[in-house]
Amino acid sequence: MKVHRRGIRRLVVAGAAVIALAAVAACGGGSSNDSASGGATTGSSDAVDAALKAGGEITYWSWTPSAEAQVKAFMAQYPNVKVNYVNAGTGNDHYTKLQNAIKAGSGAPDVAQIEYQALPQFALPGSLADLNQYGFSQYESAYTASTWAAVHAGSGLYGLPQDSGPMALFYNKEVFDKYGIAVPKTWDEYVAAAKKLHAANPKAYITNDSGDAGFTTSMIWQAGGQPFKTDGKNISINLADDGSKKWTGTWNNLVEGGLVSQIPGWTDEWFKALGDGTIATLPTGAWMPGVMESSVKAGAGKWRVAPMPTYDGQPATAENGGSTESVLKQSKNPALAAAFVRWLNHDEGVKPFLASGGFPATTADLKDSAFVDKASAYFGGQKINQVLTAAAGNVVKGWSYLPYELYANSIYGDTVGKAYQSKSDLNAGLKSWQDALVTYGNQQGFQVNP
323 binds other proteins (CB under 8 A): yes
Q: Minimum distance from CB of 130 to other proteins (Å)?
A: 25
CB 279 within 8 A of CB 271: no
CB closer to other proteins out of 89 and 380: 89
Q: How far apart are CA 215 and CA 284, in angstroms?
A: 8
* Residue in 28, 56, 89, 249 binding other proteins, rule: CB under 8 A: 89
Alpha carbon separation from 307 to 178, 310, 384, 389, 429 (Å, rounded): 21, 9, 10, 10, 28
* Residue in 43, 126, 275, 334 binding other proteins, rule: CB under 8 A: 275
Q: How far apart are CA 223 and CA 242, in angstroms?
A: 8
* Residue in 295, 422, 439, 443 binding other proteins, rule: CB under 8 A: 295
326 binds other proteins (CB under 8 A): no
321 binds other proteins (CB under 8 A): yes
6 class by beta-carbon count within 10 Å (0-12 exposed, 13-18 middle, 19+ buried) = middle
CB closer to other proteins out of 102 and 341: 102
Half-sphere exposure of 356 (CA within 13 A, CB side): 15
* Residue in 14, 22, 28, 87 binding other proteins, rule: CB under 8 A: 87
101 binds other proteins (CB under 8 A): yes
CB closer to other proteins out of 91 and 315: 91
91 binds other proteins (CB under 8 A): yes
* Residue in 188, 276, 293, 425 binding other proteins, rule: CB under 8 A: 276
Half-sphere exposure of 295 (CA within 13 A, CB side): 15
CB closer to other proteins out of 63 and 440: 63
* Residue in 290, 380, 393, 413 binding other proteins, rule: CB under 8 A: 290
* Residue in 74, 228, 271, 379 binding other proteins, rule: CB under 8 A: 271
Q: H or E segment at 215?
A: helix 213-222
Q: How far apart are CA 185 and CA 307, in angstroms?
A: 8
CB closer to other proteins out of 83 and 430: 83
Alpha-helical (H) ranges within 257-400 are: 268-276, 288-295, 334-345, 350-355, 363-367, 369-372, 384-392
Amino acid residing at 345: N
Q: Is the dihedral of CA 122, 128, 133, 137 positive or negative?
A: negative
174 binds other proteins (CB under 8 A): no
Q: Of all residues in the chain, what percent are helix, strand and coil, respectively (each to 5)? A: 50, 15, 35
Q: Minimum distance from CB of 144 to other proteins (Å)?
A: 16
Among the residue ranges 10-18, 23-31, 137-145, 269-277, the one whose residues contact other proteins (CB under 8 A): 269-277
Q: How far apart are CA 52 and CA 46, in angstroms?
A: 10
Among the residue ranges 30-38, 124-132, 237-245, 293-301, the one whose residues contact other proteins (CB under 8 A): 293-301
137 binds other proteins (CB under 8 A): no
CB 134 within 8 A of CB 140: no
Q: Minimum distance from CB of 162 to other proteins (Å)?
A: 9
Q: How far apart are CA 105 and CA 13, in angstroms?
A: 9
CA angle 134, 135, 138 (to 5 degrees): 145
298 binds other proteins (CB under 8 A): yes
414 binds other proteins (CB under 8 A): no
Q: Minimum distance from CB of 146 to other proteins (Å)?
A: 15
Among the residue ranges 85-93, 168-176, 382-390, 422-430, the one whose residues contact other proteins (CB under 8 A): 85-93
CB closer to other proteins out of 146 and 323: 323
* Residue in 31, 37, 77, 96 binding other proteins, rule: CB under 8 A: 96
CA 38 to chain centre: 27
- State how beta strands 156-157 and 152-153 pair: antiparallel
Given strand 303-307, what is the order of strands in its sheet?
A: 281-285, 167-172, 303-307
* Residue in 3, 11, 54, 104 binding other proteins, rule: CB under 8 A: 104
Residues in the chain: 450
CB closer to other proteins out of 32 and 323: 323
Q: How far apart are CA 307 and CA 284, in angstroms?
A: 11
CB closer to other proteins out of 7 and 89: 89
Site for other proteins in 341-360 (CB under 8 A): 356-358
Chain residues binding other proteins by CB under 8 A are 61, 63-65, 86-91, 93, 96-97, 100-101, 103-107, 163, 165, 266, 268, 271-272, 275-276, 285, 287, 290-291, 294-295, 297-298, 321-323, 356-358
